[in-house]
Structure 1
Amino acid sequence: MKATQYRIGDMMTCAIANMLQDGETVFHGVSSHLPMVAMALAQNMHAPHLVHLNIPGGMNPSSIKKAAYSSAGSDLLASAEAYFPLEQVFDLSMRGKLDVAFLGGVQFDLYGNVNASVIGDYHQPKVRLPGGAGSAVLIPTAKKAIIWRTKHDKRTFVEKVDFVTTRGNLWKIVTPLCIFENRGGKLHLDSIHPTSSLEEVKENTGFELLYDEVKYTQPPTETELSILKKIDPFDYRSLEF
């Protein structure tokens, strides 16, 4: 399949969906349209028994076609199989029962530290960010944390984060250029998207790239793209780009 037949948002969504396994319990938070669509894609492809949890508390909503802009609207509850409130998600994670949590951040370093608090000095920051919120609890306690970021540059992937908001069970980071995987406490280059190159990833990463071999992410299939059009007709997966 040629790269021109899909967009990078499609690439990232399908890559994330393929990380999810049937029967896993998976949570996404606010402003999380891309992983929300990826979860629905996985349910429609290879993981029909995946359990979808979200901030409104709607377990396994039957449709995301009218999902609110925040990806945390009441519509996710209205079409749900059951009610599972947010406080129970934290409890579930701390008991070791949450398989995957989708979370965000602004800065990341080689050691998987996540900064979502400040840019610059903590006491006199250049930019004050939203803070850890749920990620400070879920990244250390969920079995696997997956982070997605629609920007990949040296301001995002830095040698040392300005502030450590959280660290823990960070598993993978998906960007428009590649996928990083945490191995032995360090981020390794897991795969490069077919739309990018090793040189481009190196030029836009502020720490040394670790990898055993150069691998490429599987591009979206025609079936995946067809299902995406059905489950995400308003193209929520592209909102962050």
Structure 2
Amino acid sequence: MNQSPYRVSDIMTCAISNLLADEETVFHGVSSHMPMVAMNLARNMHAPNLVHLNIPGGVNPTSIKQAGYSSAGSDLVASGEAYFPLEQIFDLSMRGKLDVAFLGGIQFDMNGNVNASVIGDYHKPKVRLPGGAGSAVLIPTAKKAIIWRTKHDIRTFVEKVDFITTRGNLWKIVTPLCIFEFKNGKLHLDRIHPTSSLEEVKANTGFELLYDELKFTELPTQKELNMLKRIDPYDCRSIEFL
């Protein structure tokens, strides 16, 4: 990866934040520190009316400055404006009222298939993963599903996933190297981070890269970096890189 004064975790967090629009209703689940910080960054920078929903049920929580802060902790409810339980999130999404859902996965292929279930044969797996949980409901029903992954290699972006946990209706996948966009039934290279290169993305992707033109992710502005220091002083956004 190219030497840069910018941290990849900051680039990813700001890129995710800039995918969110004002007045959107946005949900994140467990182990979602980066999206959680990105949502709060968006609310403080350009989307003051964004509605932040989360797995414990807090709406627009304000307390996100504690060391070791959890993306599924009780503080999300205690500091929230209201309580909106998880079962209502699913109902909201199935009624077409959830604008964005942040979800995870372990393997992805060009056809937008997501594997969060097993590595290897399903009946005799090398690794058994947590499974789809809410992804099987939210990816098909949310208006826009965004996946973030802090690892980008040929074991993650594969020619064919070992198991299809869920499929289709992805919008973006944000990685340490680039952003993919799902369109016309295929993953396309949307933007390359300035800390990476086309060659590096190709070398770490197990399927053919489709793209119309080479575009690059905007680097974080000084205002964004200053805001990140204020709202995330314990650097929760970088936890998954540790």
Contact 2:168 2:185 (C-alpha < 8 Å) held by counterparts: no
**Per-residue CA shift, 1:170-194, capped at 9, x if unaligned?**
0000000000000111000000000
Report the TM-score when normalising by structure 2: 0.97
Deviation of the 1:66 alpha carbon:
2.2
Aligned residue runs from structure 1 range 72-221, under 5 A: 72-221=72-221
Task: State the percentage of identical aligned residues.
Answer: 81
Q: Which runs of 5+ in 2 are unaligned?
A: none
Report the TM-score when normalising by structure 1: 0.97
Q: Distance in 1 between matches of 2:216 and 2:84?
A: 37
Contact 1:66 1:75 (C-alpha < 8 Å) held by counterparts: no
The alignment partner of 2:166 has SS state of coil
The alignment partner of 1:207 has SS state of coil
2:187 alignment partner AA: L
Aligned residue runs from structure 1 range 19-30, under 5 A: 19-30=19-30
Q: Distance in 1 between matches of 2:29 and 2:67?
A: 13
Q: Which runs of 5+ in 1 are unaligned?
A: none
Q: Distance in 1 between matches of 2:130 and 2:67?
A: 23
Contact 1:68 1:75 (C-alpha < 8 Å) held by counterparts: no
Deviation of the 1:195 alpha carbon:
0.2
The alignment partner of 1:14 has SS state of helix
Q: Distance in 2 between matches of 1:68 and 1:141?
A: 32
- Corresponding position of 2:5: 5
Deviation of the 1:68 alpha carbon:
5.5
Q: Distance in 2 between matches of 1:45 and 1:138?
A: 27
The alignment partner of 1:101 has SS state of strand
**Per-residue CA shift, 1:87-145, capped at 9, x if unaligned?**
10000000000000000000000011000000000000010000000111100000000
Greater shift, 64-73 or 157-166, is seen at: 64-73
Q: Distance in 2 between matches of 1:229 and 1:184?
A: 39
- Alignment RMSD: 1.2
